[in-house]
Copies of this chain bind each other. A is one copy, B any other.
Amino acid sequence: MKKENQTPTMKDVAREAGVALGTVSKVVNGLPVGYSYRKRVEDAIKKLNYQVNTYAQGMKAGKTYTVALLIPNARDPFFASLIYYINIALSRQKYRMLLCSTDFNPSLEQEYVNMAQFNKVDGIIGLTYNPDLIVEEDTPFVAIDRPIGSRFPCVASDNFAGGQLAAEKFADLGCRHVAFLRTGSSLNNETNKRRSGFENGCLARGLSYEMKILNDDEPYALFEEFLMEHAREGKFDFDGIFCVTDRLAYLVMKSLKKLGLRVPEDVQVIGFDGIRHFGDADYVCSTIVQPAQEIAEMCVELLVHESLSMKPPLVCLPVTYAYGGTTKDPEAEQKGDNP
C-alpha cells in the first residue's frame, strides 16, 4: 500500500485564497467571516477539492468520530442484521464504524476495549461474552444482550415477553403439551429469560411443558435423544416445541423429520431471533422476532446523545411473533411460503 500523494490542506486553501489559515478554519466550521473572504475561501476549497482531515481534527478535539462495534462474527445472520442496522444508525449521526470481530474470544474482546480507552474510538457498542471484561468508568460503552458491570447501559430484546408470547401462540394454536429446548452459555441471563417467560406463559395458559437444557459444550445429539425418547410407538409426546434460537429450531426440524414427524402437522415449532432466508426473504421458521433495527438505533442513541445524565441500566425492546411455516396459523394456511 503506497503512500498518498499530497491532498490539499488548509494551508493550501489559505494560500490559494490569499487569506490566513485561521480564516479558512472559520469558514469550514461555519463561524462568522466577512462575505468577500468567505467567498474567496469557498472558491478555493472548490477549486482544490479540499476536504478537512478528520483525523487531524480529531487529534485536536480528542474525538475520532469513530465507534467500534464488537461482535463475535459477521456471518451469523442475527449479528449481520445488527451490523447492518448499527452501521446505518451510526452513519446517520456522522460516525464511522469500526468492525471488530471477536470470534467469542474474551482476550480479543478485552484488546478492542483497551483500544477504545486509548482514545482511538469515541465509544463502543459491544455484544461480548467475556464475563470479566474490564471497561474504564469513563469509556462510553453500550452493551447488547449481556450487561457489563452496572455502569453501562444494556440494550436487549424483551426476552421474557418473547418466551411468554411463544407459549401464548402455542396455546392459541391448539397445543397442549409443549417442550422448551435451549443451549448456550449458562451465564447468558437473557436467554434464561426466554425460558422463564415461556414457563410463565405455559402456566398462565394451562399448557403442560417439559424442558431440555444443554450447555455449550454438550453435543446436539443429546437433543435428538431427548426427542427420540418422546417419540415412542409412533406417538410424539409434544405438539409444540419452543427453541431458544432459530438456529436450534432448524436443527430440531431436521431431527423431527428423521423421526418421521411432520411440521407443523404433527408438531409445531417456534424459534427465536427472526432470522430470514438470505437476510431479507421469508422467515426460516415461525419465530419470535428480535427488533434488530430498534436495538441498533437504541444503542447508537444511548452512545451518541450526551443526555448522559440518566442512562437507563437495561432497555428491553418489544419482540413480535412472525409466521414462518412451522406453525398452524389459520390466516397463513393458503400461503405456499416456508416449506
Contacts and interface: CB of A to CB of B under 8 A. Distances in A.
A99 B118 CA distance: 21
A119 B53 contact: yes
B139 A75 contact: no
A222 interface: no
A277 interface: yes
A7 interface: yes
A206 interface: no
Copies of this chain: 2
Interface in A227-279: 246-247, 250-251, 254, 257-258, 275, 277-279
Given A2-B306, A4-B119, A339-B254, A281 B247 contact: yes
A72 to B, nearest CB: 10
Nearest to A69: B99
Interface residues of A, number: 67
Contacts of A58: 55
Given A55-B59, A250-B277, A99 B97 contact: yes
A140 B7 contact: no
Given A2-B308, A80-B80, A120-B55, A98 B98 contact: yes
Interface of A: 1-5, 7, 51, 53-56, 58-59, 62-64, 66, 73-77, 80-81, 83-84, 87-88, 91, 96-99, 101, 114-115, 117-120, 122-123, 138-140, 246-247, 250-251, 254, 257-258, 275, 277-281, 284, 303-306, 308, 336-337, 339
